[in-house]
Amino acid sequence: MAFNPAAAPRSREQFMKWYPDQNEQEEPHSYDNPENTDSPLKAWLVEFMKEFPAMNGPCAAGDDMIDDPHVTDYSMGRDVVYCCFAWSLAEEAYQKMKESTAKHSVGFYNVSADDGEIAFPDLKF
């Protein structure tokens, strides 16, 4: 998950309380359109989708990419973007997420790990 660092609590304990609320998808918009994502996430997402194209929504990859494992299922909120990758690309996607979120100064949370890494542009725990 990539997130807007200005919207997320800085302590691990508070972050883990905040995180479940982000899953509720109660914002009044679809969750497949990058236009609903605030800066700085939007700039990160537009660039990230060049390598990991969207499965659904207005930016969805064409039918010619239907079998490409890079096609990714996104859930795009105002302050968080969940990315569901093909397991065959787990390591590649993890590395790309870490690199690209750092480059764009957005946060990164490794949702798939038992004690998932949380990284802010200036803090990691």
Helix-, strand-, coil-residue percentages of the chain, each rounded to 5: 35, 20, 45
The answer to whether the Cα torsion of 36, 37, 38, 43 is positive or negative is negative
Tens digit of pLDDT for each residue in 23-40?
Answer: 777 777 777 888 889 878
The residues spanned by each domain of the chain are 2-124
**pLDDT 10s digits, 42-79:** 999 999 999 999 999 888 888 878 789 999 999 999 99
104-118 pLDDT per residue, tens = 999 999 999 888 999
